[in-house]
Amino acid sequence: MDINVERVSVKSRNSIVNSKYDLPFEIDCTLPDYCRDVEKLLSTDINPVVCSVSSDDNKVTVEGNNLVTVFYCDKENNISKYESKVPFSKTVELKAPMNTPAISAAAYEGYINCRAVSPRRLDIRGTTQIQLDATSDKEEKIIEKIQLKDVETNIQLFENAECTGQYCKQFTIKDSINSNFKDMEHLSVLRYRISPFINEYKILPDKVILKGTLFIVICCCNEKEKKISTESYKMPFSQIIDCPGIDEDCICDFCAKVINSETVCGNDDESQGKFNISATIYTIITGYRKTQLVGIKDCFCHSCVCTCKSKNINILKPVSQLNSNFTFNESVSVDDFTEIKDACCKIISMEPEYNQNTVKLKLRVILSILGIKNKQLCCVEKTASITLDVCKNIKIDCLCFNPHINIIECSCSDINNGKTEISCSIRVNGIIFDKICINLIDDIKPEPKSKKIIDHDLVIIYYTHSKELIWDIAKKYNTSTENIIKQNHLSGDYVEKGQTLLITPFKPDSLSAE
């Protein structure tokens, strides 16, 4: 007996890389002439930024920069800073070429240590941690239809998200913003933070329009009065990203980060009383098209034994798309501080997890507080563990989620009993997928010598002891699901516990042709 089958090509989404890598770096430098001598180190900050991600043949390359800033005081207690940019690169060799890759790379601070070898020389050492995730398509052939009355098939539909491609673009925003500070002649920028977030996006054929806002926080020092204060600003932006293959039926996972920036006080007549802002933004858009995958999970022949072969297909089912703000509050000890001047927050690790129908983000952060202690400027850093419930009341078999996180704002309260309350606003965006591994039939061969004997007069009374699939009952007693459903007036795929079913033998005429 020959069985006629129709096969179809499907895309299985497979993980290629899911690893962390530590990249050490060191800086042994002499301060430039414009920098004051070092009397006391205040703090050392490292901000690792991924500037590009590329794949070529059998490898993935991540490149970026460690932006290192050292804050210190000279003998007159003037605040100064030294900045250095240290490039990093990591290439990961793959076992096979990737097809329509989707790559996510994030860089975090491992550790940083700085010591003043002399008033003019610094020794800085640290590590950067790279989190790299990459998935790729693999073409698979499965059976879509078996054209034979004598074969019962368990056909199911699955919602799948097929990757259309990943699209990257860098663009620079330059503008001036009116300053809220007074006496800008004696003002110097001590530290600043620029964070982008996407307010909305619109998908057009082969392109995506992004509209967003740059959140800018500037901490300045008035060197004449030796006063420090912090102000925040907003700057809108928009950009068109070319995305070949994308259309209105797709969904997008987008990431936007500042990879290079500069904030300086205006020093000419045109920009007097303003800050000149320059920010280079690196955007990554990954497109997904929702499709319906038709596959045969199981089959059996009524007249003879059949040998079936199957294979595992990995699919991504979109569950939720995030583009939301979350806030966390943390109490930090600031003993002997009399005044808080500035506070900032930096993420050093991130792990998504799924628990009790809730997707959570477990974050490790460094809280950096600049304030006055014993009439001198000091900096204290504290680590904290934060858990955010980013999506509730969902059911997932296997979580697949690479969120993109930007810290938008960070503020702190007045000192109370030696403590201050820090409040941080975090923007989280990304697509939450349910990664489903399904086992589908890709080959079937009958064994004509192993014929099944059907007793056409046999009638079975079946009592269900638990919730059961009608398919499993039909396969066990070599009948059809259609017979069981019609004779017992059932609906759906299951029968509940405690039901009594009438099961009669399979009759070819009772089935409609496939």
Within 10 angstroms of residue 177's Cβ, the number of other Cβ atoms is 18
pLDDT at 56: 84
In this prediction, residue 510 has a pLDDT band, given cuts at 50, 70 and 90, of: very low
- The band of 115, judged by pLDDT with boundaries at 50, 70 and 90, is very high
Q: Are strands 304-333 and 419-451 parallel, antiparallel or unpaired?
A: antiparallel
Least confident piece of the model among 3-12, 97-106, 108-117: 3-12
Lowest-confidence region among 11-20, 69-78, 352-361: 69-78
What is the pLDDT, as a whole number, of residue 23? 96
pLDDT at position 511? 43
| Lowest mean per-residue pLDDT among 87-91, 92-96, 191-195, 223-227 | 223-227
Q: What was the pLDDT predicted at 513?
A: 36
Helix (H) or strand (E) holding 471: helix 470-476
Q: Do 68 and 44 touch, CB atoms closer than 8 A? A: yes
Among candidate residues 71, 239, 261, the one with its CA nearest the CA of residue 171 = 239
What pLDDT sits at residue 126? 94
* CB-based contact 254:201 (threshold 8 Å): yes
Residue 440 has pLDDT above 90, yes or no: yes
Q: Which of 45, 200, 17 is nearest to 124 (CA)?
A: 45
423 class by beta-carbon count within 10 Å (0-12 exposed, 13-18 middle, 19+ buried): middle
Q: Which residue has the higher pLDDT, 374 or 19?
A: 19
Per-residue confidence (pLDDT) for residue 512, from 0 to 100: 39
State mean pLDDT over 251-262: 93
Mean pLDDT of 421-448: 92
pLDDT for 21: 96
**What is the C-alpha separation between 12 and 133, in angstroms, rounded?**
17
**Which has more confidence, 191 or 203?**
203
Structure tokens at 237: 């932006």
Q: What's the Cα-to-Cα distance from 366 to each of 118, 343, 423, rounded to whole Å?
A: 28, 11, 13
- Minimal CA–CA distance to 263: which of 194, 215, 214, 196? 194
At 422, the amino acid letter reads I
pLDDT at 122 over 70: yes
pLDDT score recorded for residue 465: 86
pLDDT band at residue 2 under the 50/70/90 scheme: low
User: What is the pLDDT, as a whole number, of residue 509?
Assistant: 56
* Rounded Cα–Cα distance for residues 38 and 20 (Å): 36
Over the stretch 295-337, which tens digit does the pLDDT of each residue have?
999 999 888 888 889 999 999 999 999 999 999 999 999 888 8
Rg of the chain on CA atoms, in Å: 31
A 10 A CB-CB count for 204 gives 12
pLDDT for res 388: 95
Please report where in the chains the tokens 């966390």 appear, as a residue: 328
| Confidence category of residue 229, pLDDT binned at 50, 70, 90 | confident
- Band of pLDDT at residue 1, cut at 50, 70 and 90: low
What local confidence, expressed as pLDDT, does residue 508 receive? 64
pLDDT given for residue 58 in this prediction: 86
Mean pLDDT of the chain: 90
Cβ–Cβ < 8 Å for 444, 146: yes
* Predicted confidence (pLDDT) at residue 184 exceeds the cutoff of 60: yes
Report the percentage of the chain scoring pLDDT > 70.
Answer: 98
Q: Enter the pTM of the model.
A: 0.88
The answer, yes or no, to whether residue 392 has pLDDT greater than 60, is yes
Residue 341 and residue 376: Cα distance in Å, rounded? 12
Q: To 10 degrees, the CA torsion angle through 247, 253, 258, 260?
A: -70
Assigned token pair, 44: 């050392």
pLDDT at 142 over 60: yes
| pLDDT above 80 for 57 | no
- Residue 384 near residue 367, CB atoms below 8 Å: yes
Highest mean pLDDT among 181-185, 206-210, 412-416: 206-210
